[in-house]
Structure 1
Amino acid sequence: MEYGFTEILQLLGALGVFLFGMKVMSDALLLLAGNKMRSILARMTSNRVLGIGTGFLITSVIQSSSATTLMVVSFANAGLLTLVESIGVIMGANIGTTITAWLITILGFKVSMSAIALPLVGFGFGFTFLKKENFKNLGSFIIGFALLFIGLQFLKDAMPDINSNPEILSFLSRYTDMGFISILLFLLIGTVLTVVIQSSSATMALTLIMTAQGWIPFEFAAAMVLGENVGTTITANLAAIIGNYKAKQTARAHLIFNLLGVLWMLILFYPFLKMVSWLVVYLGSESPFVSAGAVPVAISLFHTTFNIANTFLLVWFVKPIAKLVEKIVPEEEMQAKEIDQPKFLSKGVLKYPETAIAAITKETKYLFKNAIFEIVSHALSIRRTDIKSDLKVKKVIKKSNVQMDTDVRELYNTKVKKIYGEIISYATKAQSNLNLTEVQNNRLLELKVANRKMVEILKEVLELSRNVTLYLNSENKYIKKEYDKLRNKTVKVLRMIHLFRTEEENEVYHAKLVKLRKELNQNIATSNIKVQELIRDDLITVDMASSLYNDEENVNTMIDKLIEVAELLYGKKDILIENNVSVSA
């Protein structure tokens, strides 16, 4: 039998079926368990053991280390995971990916799945007609699982038989008698194959089939497995190209971790293989150095023991690895963007609900603490540095008697309008395109409300700013004093909001904010009486009084909204439910 172009196409087709089955199965599992998996990942702590366990669990469930590492890169990019936490998850993912090799070895070689694979496709297809989404996803998982083994059977059938094609061995023999260089060569082959196919599971399947067919001996198959460990890192590194420095650091950490593992394994390569051979014989099989039939099990065992040993060896060096990565990929200053361009929003964040919410939250907080804070304070001719300082509020007001040239409308157009539109657009896309839980959807509604209220605050401060500018240096000391009272109110609230969002014990400052709001609302009647007295005594004009009445109302409304936005962004309670805020999009 000659192995020609047609047979090569059949081999590629078989590989395609295997990869498609793997993708369908992995995607279905992500839909079935993705929310729970991502929720676990988003709640990660810096505990290394927990990180490893999380990585192992996610990869074992979704059957794709690439999907896990891509998730980790996306979460790091959004700031949900630190570099140290990311390294822990990646270590666990490396162990989790060994489950796939055992699945292929046991069900693909020890048990014949080909007889039941097609009935499984039919069985799974039936589930896809059901209305409930989870049943549809379960059906897709069953179909993907069956296709995986149909593809594996096709691969075994398409792989040329050595007895019919003895020239294959003669071709390989040129590269198997060069000692340790041969090991390095097969390591490179494993790396290149994984980079080209973009699936370490597919390369592992090919390796296992080649060993079962007697193509390559145990030691060269083990070298290919090491190459697969290096090649699988390319997916995360490609994904990180368009990410920020955090994403790049995480991808590089994955590469360095796997390279370090391969390095020490090459040093102990032959003793380690002897240990694996001893384990295989101890478990009741033949030595992989003697029998080709024992090699698939031995390779799976090598893959598992290597990744476990590598993790338990390098887990003690997570921080040094992190420092090395930080030197290779240094922290970047926030990229200089146009003043009206979002800082955290990008197409990539819309891949997962968690990353979308994290990015929209960051963008909203950035808008609130910078643009809104600046416009409100400057519109009242008060410097932000004075608000953030320990200077007494009365002294801040007294110091801020210099009129600032603040065009609120211009600042809104240049610093707020476009970013506000982008935030609402991203939140709407996330709600429309992503599979959100009720809690996640409510959080996006909260963020939309917070942004809407920020725009309303600017409308109120626009009216206020004109009269502050008019009366700040007025010769009438009574109207000036009343407007200083309004400024005093606002400074107190802005300062408390600054402390609420920056101090760790923010519940204390939240309680003070609530108290402030209550006091300010109670003082409205007193202020009205004071204005009436000033009119009666002819100390201010009717026009001044009219402006003062309107601005008093504006300030109180503005203060209420400032506090509501702060609660929505930095509070821990469900403010929407508590305050019955309308959340219609």
Structure 2
Amino acid sequence: MNKYTSGLIKTLQILGLLYLFLLSIELIGLGFKLFGKEFAHALMETTSSPFVGLFIGILVTSMVQSSSTVTSIVVGMVAGGTLTISGAIPIVMGSNIGTSVTNIIVSMGSLSRRNEFRSAFSAAVVHDFFNVLSVLILFPLQISFNVLGVLSKELADIFVGSSGVTFKSPLKLIVNPLASYLADLLNKNPVLIVILALIFLFIALRYIVVVLKSVFINKAENFFDKVIFKSTFTALAFGLILTVLVQSSSITTSLIVPIVGSGILTLYQVFPYTVGANIGTTITAILASLVTGKTEALIVAFAHFMFNVTGAILILSIPFLRNIPLWGAKKFSELVYNNRYISVLFLIIFFFIIPLLVIFLSR
């Protein structure tokens, strides 16, 4: 076998494994949506306070595995008059935290390989630490002064009267037909769909790292270091643009997790990339709000955008704040290095049990 044939086979292997990886992410989303979309919708209608709304956003996004989906639903509910602007903004803030569940699930594909898991887990939870820090800074300001509402109202006034624009994710066009077919094959049983998704995920992650290391690691390292992740700005811009194109921060941030696990990229390189993905994911809700033609819906969509932009500017521009998510992710990954069960407990307790307790104890 000559080197060209070998290279072609390896390239096809990577493309096939990447497709399997994306298919698993789509199936996880489908499964979780079947578990709780109606329950999530009912929860959002019963927002009793901004604090509870924040935890509703975390829980609902953890359940449906997509902040874009949650913010689009919120925008639709505001447009329909079933949710107020003041009730909607904390939910979209919470959705930013909930969306990082997918990253953590992906990192667990390396659970049996201790060193790889530590690196992958740090890349997954840096997204959490950044989003939690953004909420800690901006949530009190929102409650006290409605800063996001005021800024978003100014932006919405500019766009009032704009015609609706739609854009379909090219990755969804490729992956969704097979995912829907498999879901139908399993009678849309959410448990079976999630199990199948996790099997696909673990297979894809196990072998894609092996193939990447054996074929592309030197070229990839050189390309990433000198082009995409050369600076904070280029990494952030790449994360933003890629997420706008695929309309899912879960996909773009999850893609980077196994690459960090394999040692091609570092936690410090991918941090601004995840921040860019946060901003890019807001495009879905903005498009949805333009379709509704309602000023209130536009305000909520722009609140999501302003929340992410403001958080990015504040945290990335102040060294002390910038180091907090990096330090937290590094220390937490060192903790789970020797106690890997903690990662599973964290996933269950932080994203599901605590929000549920807050929501139901507040009633």
| TM-score between both structures, scaled by the size of structure 2 | 0.63
User: 1: distance between equivalents of 2:229 and 2:256?
Assistant: 19
Shift of 1:50: 1.0
Which runs of 5 or more structure 1 residues have no equivalent in the other structure? 113-124, 287-292, 295-585
- Corresponding residue of 2:221: 169
User: 2: distance between equivalents of 1:234 and 1:176?
Assistant: 22
Question: What count of residue pairs does the alignment treat as equivalent?
Answer: 265
Give the number of the structure whose alpha-carbon radius of gyration is greater: 1
| Match for residue 153 of structure 1 among 203, 206, 216 | 206
Q: Secondary structure at the match of 1:251?
A: helix
Shift of 1:196: 2.1
Structure-2 change in CA distance of 1:171 and 1:238 (3 Å): same
Asked if 1:14 is matched to 2:17, the reply is: yes
What is the letter of the counterpart of residue 259 of structure 1?
Answer: V
Shift of 1:261: 0.9
1:436-475 map, 5 Å: none
Q: Secondary structure at the match of 1:79?
A: coil
- Corresponding residue of 1:50: 52
1:192-211 map, 5 Å: 192-211=241-260
Q: Secondary structure at the match of 1:60?
A: helix
Shift of 1:97: 1.2
- Corresponding residue of 1:263: 313
| Match for residue 239 of structure 1 among 264, 288, 295 | 288
Shift of 1:173: 3.8
- Corresponding residue of 1:41: 44
Asked if 1:226 is matched to 2:279, the reply is: no
What is the letter of the counterpart of residue 192 of structure 1?
Answer: I
User: 1: distance between equivalents of 2:217 and 2:183?
Assistant: 43
Shift of 1:12: 4.0
Asked if 1:184 is matched to 2:233, the reply is: yes
What is the letter of the counterpart of residue 256 of structure 2?
Answer: T
Q: Secondary structure at the match of 1:159?
A: helix
What is the letter of the counterpart of residue 20 of structure 2?
Answer: V
User: 2: distance between equivalents of 1:281 and 1:230?
Assistant: 23
| Match for residue 248 of structure 1 among 298, 318, 329 | 298
Shift of 1:128: 6.6
Structure-2 change in CA distance of 1:195 and 1:126 (3 Å): closer
User: 1: distance between equivalents of 2:186 and 2:225?
Assistant: 53
Which deviations, in whole Å up to 9, do the C-alpha atoms of 1:489-521 show, x marking residues without a partner?
xxxxxxxxxxxxxxxxxxxxxxxxxxxxxxxxx
What is the letter of the counterpart of residue 96 of structure 1?
Answer: G
Structure-2 change in CA distance of 1:230 and 1:280 (3 Å): closer
Is the 1:15–1:155 contact (alpha carbons within 8 Å) kept by the matching residues of 2? yes
| Match for residue 140 of structure 1 among 179, 193, 200 | 193
Shift of 1:51: 0.7
Shift of 1:165: 4.6
Structure-2 change in CA distance of 1:187 and 1:127 (3 Å): closer
Is the 1:127–1:139 contact (alpha carbons within 8 Å) kept by the matching residues of 2? no
Shift of 1:39: 0.8
Q: Secondary structure at the match of 1:241?
A: helix
Q: Secondary structure at the match of 2:291?
A: coil
Structure-2 change in CA distance of 1:67 and 1:210 (3 Å): same
Which runs of 5 or more structure 2 residues have no equivalent in the other structure? 114-181, 339-363
Structure-2 change in CA distance of 1:6 and 1:239 (3 Å): farther
Structure-2 change in CA distance of 1:155 and 1:236 (3 Å): farther
Which deviations, in whole Å up to 9, do the C-alpha atoms of 1:58-86 show, x marking residues without a partner?
11122222221121122122111122211
Structure-2 change in CA distance of 1:80 and 1:31 (3 Å): same
Structure with the higher fraction of residues in helix conformation? 2
Shift of 1:99: 2.0
User: 2: distance between equivalents of 1:217 and 1:265?
Assistant: 19
- Corresponding residue of 1:78: 80
Shift of 1:126: 12
User: 2: distance between equivalents of 1:206 and 1:280?
Assistant: 18
| Match for residue 69 of structure 1 among 68, 71, 81 | 71
Is the 1:14–1:155 contact (alpha carbons within 8 Å) kept by the matching residues of 2? yes
| TM-score between both structures, scaled by the size of structure 1 | 0.41
User: 2: distance between equivalents of 1:174 and 1:83?
Assistant: 44
Shift of 1:188: 0.6
User: 2: distance between equivalents of 1:88 and 1:94?
Assistant: 10
Q: Aligned residues: percent identity? A: 27
Structure-2 change in CA distance of 1:91 and 1:192 (3 Å): same
Shift of 1:142: 2.2
What is the letter of the counterpart of residue 311 of structure 2?
Answer: G
Which deviations, in whole Å up to 9, do the C-alpha atoms of 1:505-547 show, x marking residues without a partner?
xxxxxxxxxxxxxxxxxxxxxxxxxxxxxxxxxxxxxxxxxxx
Asked if 1:285 is matched to 2:288, the reply is: no
Higher relative contact order (CA 8 A, sep 6+): 2
Is the 1:207–1:224 contact (alpha carbons within 8 Å) kept by the matching residues of 2? no
What is the letter of the counterpart of residue 247 of structure 1?
Answer: A
When the two chains are superposed, the root-mean-square deviation of aligned CA atoms in Å is 3.3
Q: Secondary structure at the match of 1:51?
A: helix
Structure-2 change in CA distance of 1:282 and 1:172 (3 Å): closer
User: 2: distance between equivalents of 1:25 and 1:71?
Assistant: 19
What is the letter of the counterpart of residue 223 of structure 1?
Answer: P
Asked if 1:26 is matched to 2:29, the reply is: yes
Structure-2 change in CA distance of 1:56 and 1:16 (3 Å): same
What is the letter of the counterpart of residue 65 of structure 1?
Answer: S
